[in-house]
Structure 1
Amino acid sequence: MAASPPAPPHPTAPAKARDHSLSGLPGHAALPADRFFNRELSWLQFNRRVLAEAQNPNYPLLERLRFLSISGSNLDEFIMVRVAGLAAQVRRQIDEVSIDGLSATQQLQDIHVALGELVEAQARIFTELTVALENEGVRLITGRRLEKAEAEFLSDYFERHVLPALTPQAIDPAHPFPFIANQGSGILFSLVRIADGAPVNEMVLIPPAMPRYVRLPGQPATWIGIEELIRRKASRLFPGFRIHGNGIFRVLRDSDIEIEEDAEDLVRYFRTAIQRRRRGRVILLTLESQFDAGAEAMLRDKLRLDHAQVIKTKGPLSMTGLSAVVEEERPDLKFEPYSPRYPERILEHDGDCFAAIREKDLVVQHPFESFDVVIDFLHQAASDPDVVAIKQTLYRAGKQSAVIAALIAAAEAGKSVTAVVELKARFDEEQNLHWASQLERAGVQVIYGFVDWKTHAKVSMVVRREGDGYRTYCHFGTGNYHPVTARIYTDLSFFTADPRFGRDAGLLFNFITGYIEPRGTEMLAISPGGVRARLYECIDREIAFARAGKPATIWCKLNALTDPDLIDRLYLASQAGVSISLVVRGICCLKPGIKGLSETITVKSVIGRFLEHSRIWAFGNGGALPNKRARVYISSADGMSRNLDRRVEVLVPIRNSTVHDQVLDQVMLANLLDTEQSWQLDAKGNSHRVDPGPQPFNVHRYFMTNPSLSGRGAALTKGRKVPKLALRRGGAATA
């Protein structure tokens, strides 16, 4: 399919979004220049919080190892994208400063120091965990001698599964230096040929498809890293040589894909761009702590480490592979298994999603309530003879996607199916290309959206023939249509048959597929531009309430808050006396608690068993929160410039009273009240664990043990009630 042409001017596109600036509000000129935290350093603070969970004594040991693995995966992506972007600015001599006034060079200097500290901390925690795990019967072979049975198994495993896939490459003038792919690792060997005493240097690259860790049979559970296995069995790889030394290394490369506006075919462009990404500039070279200085110099020269960093570590060069060890069958070393509930409201209608939604709006909170309800919604649409059309956005759908299967089934059943597949979903481009091809073969109309804007909104729309007309059923989500991450990420799914939402969803899809501007929406705010304008309107109302002496409150839950204009709006609200409570899981560039600027603003982060991902805004609307009149919204958008100005996003108002109560009085309030998994951000940019106090409250435990308010249906009138949360000094109260 041909690529979309550049997006036409939009009434609230990025250029005009800036018209909603601070110029009409008193006090904007008084904002200090040093009012923002650096985005990149704030992210590193977030990853420190993730890494700290690997030391949390309240977690089982394998779950702590999982957090160590996650912190490593997070760090890899940060380096491949954010650090790579800054390095590119330096190379191209782009004279652009961050919102806190730092040049790209200054930011890289600070980041390099922080990266070194993080890698050192990871190595230290890895050592602590390996000792603790060995005491519990889970062993990782590092430097110790092998027992006879272990050595025999590994020799056999190496001969059959590893040796045939390895290709040693001599490093000398007669051989070109081998290409090392992104996230590739290898071992440099220093050898001496026994026949003539000649020194030889060899490189062995680890095949990417090879498992990172190998499980030995029997008990206790014993694992060995693939690099360690190859090093121990290297004599089989180099017969006729003496091994004098070896060292393991790993490479991370620039992995961002820049979109060219004149790309004539997005599919072809991304297929070639993915290949280019694997060969991007080296951004980080990681070495073992005892890596030979001469070999290091050779790698530096051959890899052309321009603006790249070199880090030496005593731990594994990649923590991501530890996820294999986490899967060890030791339930006593993991969280107690949790099975999400299916919404009772739908069960009361014999599983008929459409009947339940038609009766009343419904919100479902994943992973505490099953993502199966979203899959069932689409599967029922596919098999229902009265359904005539399905329209669906797809940002990240996963590798084994039941959503894709439902759309294919619907198309094969003769329904009109439109799928907006976002090719620019970072690191999912290849998978999305695959799904697009599968969908097109089944007869789905596949649209790739805009060239310069990502379609990040999570919307599904089903048009069903009912009586003499048609009814539109909609699903709006804060997270992706991804069945795997839906078991880990906390997100909200909002279902409605309200005709106003149906009309707005139709306008949204017409905008994406036909560039028809979504004028006159009744419920949704649509970005670019529209989400920003709606949020500014709501913030300004709270400012007006505060100046009139009325209660003025804003609650917000986001993954990131970096947009300087939005932050400035919140600063002005604080200066006017608005009470603002923010739950920001990751990056936050807003400085809380500064006298005269943000003294009424608090910022916390919740890091726990599940990854907080839902985006919620709540405005008191003239009363203290929570209250029945409050304006409540859920969204696919974070508080970032890219979400507000360069992506197609939606902000969804919650009007149904039951859904309103669940989102505001349960989900939002529970996050604010959490004390067991929360970190408080101070005015200097440091995060501190919240004191759990005498009555600790855990937001995840609360939702794991209490059924949904919105999804319970008739169960609300019988059986155990959901404990009611209340704001009180000292934490949560139930009644």
Structure 2
Amino acid sequence: MVRIDRVSSMINNSRYISRDISWLKFNERVLDQAHSGNRTIFERLKFLSITDSNLDEFLMIRVGSLYNYIDYNRERVDYSGLREVPFKRRLFAELQRFHTEQHELYKQELKPYFEENDFQICKLDGLSSEEHAQVEQYFKKTIYPMITPMVFDSYHTFPILMNRLLIFGVTTKNPGDKKKHRKLSFIQIPQNLPRFYEVEREEVIIFVPIEEIIRKYIAKFFRNVEILSVNLFRITRNGDFTLEESDEIDTNFLEEIKRKLKTRKTGRVVRIEIEEGYDKWMLNLLKKRWELEEENIFEISEDSLIDFSSLMQIVFHNEFRDRLPVQPSFVPPLSYPDHDLSESIFDVLKNKDILLHHPYNSIEPLLGLLEQAAEDPLVLAIKITIYRLADDSRVTAALLKAAENGKNVSVLFEVKARFDEENNIREAQKLQKAGCFVIYGISSFKTHTKLMLIVRKEGAKVTRYVHMSSGNYNENTARLYTDLSLLTTNEIYAHDVSEFFNVITGHSNPEAYKNLITAPGSMREQLIDLIRQEAENARQGLPSGMVIKVNSLEDRQTIDELYEASQAGVPIKLVVRGICCLRPEREGLSENIMVKSIVGDFLEHARLYYFHQAGKPKVYGGSADMMVRSFDRRLESLFLVLDKNIRKEAMNILLYNLRDNVNSYVLKEDGHYEKVQPDEGEEPFNLHREFYKVRQHDIHEVKLFEEELQQAQALD
């Protein structure tokens, strides 16, 4: 108890919130969506599924990284001040608590509503004799030929068990042998089989978990031996490569990445999910082999389910597609309200900048620009950075067409985009074979910036068309993620983006950018300068204020500057979707800082930075969060919004984020999040619906700091 109290005290007294504990709080907010009785059962299952996918990635990357330090005896001190092992214990206690909440939610709040929504998840004992016959045929014809049992004994080496697959551990012995002569075999359920076998009845669809079918007929794999126990489990392996990445990573770069992909199959085990009633002998053998402790074992009751991510098979089943909310139709961009499909996007951009706010505005103007550029004989070159692409990507297709048409196409492809590496390597090689100039990353830096440059000869002059964004060149996620993208021919932007491409594709040290802030390099320092300017204005009695919207806030240097600005009297409003290591509302440290997170129908992905500047605000948008990796280990960019109307629109986006009282959670000083509820008599304000309604007149007088702006006007 003394040790637990000491650990809790260290965590609570720290100036910072643990990055990993903060991430778990984010996943709790996602799980809260599954608790919501205002959503359909299919939406709630979707959010539960997302939490499990999130948790898998967290264990593979963040917990995997922690084990890198532990396994290789390297020192790691968490933001809370805890060393590796004490922090691991605290982290796994939180993981176990979250695991319990997930499964209680599934059993108590979701399962009771399955039947009234025309489906069930049930075992074989709920089937008729005719349905049993169908299942038996499915086993004989499909499952049985695919499965290969693997025995482990003194004659057979321990098999490679795959990450995140359902696995049966079966203990057997020969008839007449003593129990101590038992053997352990493994059956891995192939990942290309659907998780559920579907039995359609007139008014209901029965989803039978595939493991129940295999369990029923498992004796067919172990003939003439005695089965002592059958245990279903699933393992999660370390998928973090941090210790392997070095300054020499560009040597034989692609082969290195391919080799790393293979290690995901054999990385150290960090978690075992296992059904209750397991064979202790088997589990002890696995724990010893993988050097695991009791905290790494996550037990699951027989009335629950291992791997909630598989519920997506039900959520997106053809029979239930109409049970999910219909996404509203796109609305025209405020900066391009009279969208005329017959007008060339090139002609439009020569006269005005266009801000697209996804998913409320369609990505079509951007795709149309790229596809027109691929065919337009006046276009000379296309340069683009790519982090993640959609399947059957129109972006790839347009770039291939451009190369076929003899245009100079340069693509900086990030082949280390986590879990998209194989697809990115394949797409990059396809472009390279077509004659595109492809750069596979820059040394040890990840390319996370989203920039495109199209060079077009128009009579005696050359016009450069620029796209800068917070989101990926991915038409699928553009319907699910909130992002900002700016299309422009402004020569100041064009100069900066051209310089940036010269730096990343060649050997060039740029002159100072006029409207871009880039990383690695000076992004942290320039943002800190802007924060310090606000603090100095506050000390001088001038109006001040900051509103910053990011996915994550983790960089200590930036956090310390925000603390200093708060102490100087600057009002600071932060909208941080996920990780937030800043501790708000602490006396003497951060009383003037408010932090909220928005989690709802769309994934908040846009980054916006607003600095009051004594009534002459600066607003930046772009790809970068306030994280060490963003500042030091990634190619990132933020662009200054120049156009007055577009700046107002960006400010309105921040304002709507602050006004939201439906999807919002406020971070308290002790690290927990409190759900925002409309006050009595206050109308609900759901930003994921309100952005479909916003019109030009709504942003005309937008103000983020009413009192301060009035003071600034008086000073003028």
* Shift in Å, 1:268: 1.0
Moved more, 603-612 or 105-114: 105-114
Taking a change above 3 Å as real, the CA distance of residues 682 and 325 of structure 1, as seen in their structure-2 partners, is: same
Letter of the aligned partner of 1:204 in structure 2? Answer: I
In structure 2, the residue matched to 1:209 is: 192
2:316 to 309, 327, 335: 327
**Farther off after superposition, 135-144 or 559-568:** 135-144
CA distance in 1, matches of 2:173, 2:13: 62
Asked if 1:340 is matched to 2:330, the reply is yes
Segments ≥4 residues shifted beyond 6 Å: 194-198, 721-729
List runs of 5+ in structure 1 lacking aligned partners.
1-31, 624-628, 710-715, 730-735
Alignment of 1:335-374 (within 5 A): 335-341=325-331, 343=333, 345=337, 347-348=339-340, 350-374=342-366
- SS of structure 2 residue aligned to 1:622: helix
Partner of residue 44 from structure 1, selected from 16, 19, 24? 24
In 1, the alpha carbon distance for the partners of 2:609 and 2:695 equals 20
Distance, in Å, in 2 between the alignment partners of 1:143 and 1:118 is 30
Deviation sequence 1:558-582 (CA, Å, 0-9, x none) = 1000000000111111001000000
Measured at CA, do residues 478 and 226 of structure 1 come closer, stay the same or move farther in structure 2, by a change above 3 Å? same
Matching residue's letter, 2:662: E
Of stretches 614-623 and 368-377 in structure 1, the one that deviates more from structure 2 is 368-377
TM-score by length of 1: 0.89
CA distance in 2, matches of 1:359, 1:194: 85
**Contact 1:346 1:352 (C-alpha < 8 Å) held by counterparts:** no
Query: In the alignment, which of 565, 582, 591 is matched to residue 557 of structure 2?
Result: 565
Aligned residue for 1:593, secondary structure, equals: coil
Residue 295 and residue 101 in structure 1: after superposition, are their counterparts in 2 closer, same or farther (change >3 A)?
same
Q: Which residue type is aligned with residue 554 of structure 2?
A: T
**In 1, Cα distance between the equivalents of 2:402 and 2:512?**
31
SS at 1:121 equivalent: helix
1:275 Cα deviation after fit: 0.9
Verify: 1:79 aligned to 2:63, yes or no.
Answer: no
Q: 8 Å contact 2:648–2:699 — kept in the other structure? A: no
1:147 Cα offset (Å) = 2.5
Paired with 2:353 and 2:212, the residues of 1 have a C-alpha distance of 56
Task: Tell me which amino acid in the other structure corresponds to 1:580.
Answer: I
% of aligned pairs identical?
35
Q: Are residues 1:174 and 2:147 paired? A: no
* Distance in 1, Cα, partners of 2:294 & 2:114: 39
Query: Counterpart of 1:684?
Result: 670
* Match among 459, 476, 479 for residue 467 of structure 1: 459
**1:659-683 Cα distance to aligned partner (Å, 9 max, x none):** 1111112x11111110011001000
**Residue by residue, what CA displacement relative to the aligned partner does 1:514-541 show, whole Å, maximum 9, x if unpaired?**
1312222121111113222221222122
Question: Cα distance 1:200–1:569, how it changes in 2: closer, same or farther (>3 A)?
Answer: closer
Q: Report the CA distance between 1:194 and its aligned residue.
A: 6.8
Residue identity in the other structure for 2:328: Y
What is the CA-CA distance between 1:400 and the residue it aligns to? 2.3
Q: Which amino acid in structure 2 is aligned with residue 245 of structure 1?
A: S
Distance in 2 between residues matched to 1:722 and 1:540, nearest whole Å = 28
Q: Deviations over 1:645-694 (max 9, x none)?
A: 221111111111221111112x1111111001100100000001012223
1:142/1:595 CA distance change after superposition, 3 Å? farther
Equivalent residues in 2 for 1:703-718 (5 A)?
Answer: 703=691, 705-706=692-693, 709=696
State yes or no: 1:632 paired with 2:612.
no
**Of 632, 642, 649, the match for 1:655:** 642
Q: SS state of the match for residue 594, structure 2?
A: strand
8 A Cα contact 1:259 1:451, kept in partner: no
How far did residue 196 of structure 1 move?
8.6
1:228-266: CA deviation from partner (whole Å, max 9, x where unpaired): 221123244445456553111111111122323224211
User: In the TM superposition, what is the alpha-carbon distance from 1:156 to its structure 2 partner?
Assistant: 1.6
Structure 2 runs not aligned, ≥5 long = 1-11, 707-716
Taking a change above 3 Å as real, the CA distance of residues 379 and 120 of structure 1, as seen in their structure-2 partners, is same
| Distance (Å, rounded) in 1 between the aligned partners of 2:58 and 2:190 | 24
Question: Residue 680 of structure 1 aligns to a residue in which SS?
Answer: strand
Q: Which residue of 1 aligns with 2:7?
A: none
1:302 is aligned to 2:282 = no
Q: Please give the alpha-carbon distance, in whole angstroms, between the structure 1 residues aligned to 2:353 and 2:546.
A: 24
Q: 1:84 aligns to what SS in structure 2?
A: helix
Instruction: Say if 2:152 is the partner of 1:163.
Output: no
Aligned equivalents of 2:400 and 2:152: distance in 1?
A: 51
- Listed as ranges, the matches of 1:367-446 within 5 Å are 367-446=359-438
State the match for 1:673 in structure 2: 659
Q: Secondary structure at the match of 2:350?
A: helix
1:145 paired with 2:126, answer yes
Whether the aligned pair in 2 keeps the contact of 1:449 and 1:513 (CA below 8 Å) is: no
Distance, in Å, in 2 between the alignment partners of 1:277 and 1:244 is 32
- Please list the CA deviations of residues 481-509 of structure 1 after superposition, one character each: whole Å capped at 9, or x if unmatched: 12222211110111110011111111111
Structure 1 residues 685-694 or 455-464, which shifts more?
Answer: 685-694
Residue 634 of structure 1 aligns to a residue whose secondary structure is strand
Residues 266-323 of structure 1: CA deviation (Å, up to 9, x unaligned)? 1111111111222111111111122121111122233343898222122322121111
**SS of the residue aligned with 1:52?**
helix
Q: Which stretch shows the higher mean deviation, 353-362 or 67-76?
A: 353-362
Paired amino acid for 2:393: S
1:92 to 1:189, Cα distance in 2 relative to 1, 3 A: closer
Q: Secondary structure at the match of 2:637?
A: strand
Q: 2:515 aligned with 1:523, yes or no?
A: yes
SS of the residue 1:501 aligns to: helix
Give, in whole Å, the separation in 2 of the partners of 1:453 and 1:201: 45
Given that 2:545 and 2:572 are in contact with CA atoms closer than 8 Å, whether structure 1 keeps it comes out as yes
Give the whole-Å Cα distance in 2 for the aligned partners of 1:658 and 1:142.
Answer: 59
Structure 1 position 643 matched with structure 2 position 623? no
SS of match in other structure, 2:466: strand
Deviations 1:384-426 (A, max 9, x none): 1111000000111133211111111110110000000012211
Q: Which residue of 2 aligns with 1:221?
A: 205
SS of aligned partner of 1:347: coil
Cα distance, 1:606 vs structure 2? 0.3
Structure-2 separation of matches of 1:490 and 1:351: 27
Contact kept in structure 2, 1:490 and 1:614, CA below 8 Å: yes
In 1, Cα distance between the equivalents of 2:125 and 2:465? 61
User: Counterpart of 1:101?
Assistant: 81
**Cα distance in structure 2, aligned partners of 1:496 and 1:579:** 33
**Which residue of 2 is the match for residue 234 of structure 1?**
218
Q: Which moved more, 1:191-200 or 1:412-421?
A: 191-200
* Residue 500 of structure 2 corresponds to residue 508 of structure 1: yes
Distance verdict in 2 for CA 1:215–1:268, change over 3 Å: same
Give RMSD over aligned pairs.
2.3
Change (3 A) 1:282 1:528: same
Retained in 2: the 8 A contact 1:283–1:307?
Answer: no
CA offsets per residue over residues 327-378 of structure 1, 9 Å max, x none? 1232453223433345454732625222222211111111111122222121
Range moving further from structure 2, 687-696 or 330-339: 330-339
Distance in 2 separating the partners of 1:324 and 1:467 = 55
The residue type equivalent to 1:377 in the other structure is L
Give the CA deviation at 1:175: 2.2
Distance 1:546 1:366 in 2: 35
1:547 matches 2:519: no
CA distance in 2, matches of 1:34, 1:143: 53
**Per-residue deviation, residues 98-150 of structure 1 (Å, max 9, x unmatched):** 23312121221111101111111111112131221222212111475323233
Q: Write the distance in 1 (CA, Å) between the matches of 2:372 and 2:139.
A: 50
Distance 1:244 1:338 in 2: 56
What count of residue pairs does the alignment treat as equivalent? 681
Q: Aligned residue for 1:22?
A: none
Alignment-mate amino acid for residue 340 of structure 1: F
Q: Which amino acid aligns with 1:217?
A: E
SS of 2:53's equivalent in the other structure is: helix
How far has the Cα of 1:542 moved from its partner?
1.0
Cα deviation 1:451-508 (Å, max 9, x = unaligned): 1211110001100111211011111110111222221111011111001111111111
Residue 126 (structure 1) aligned with residue 106 (structure 2): yes
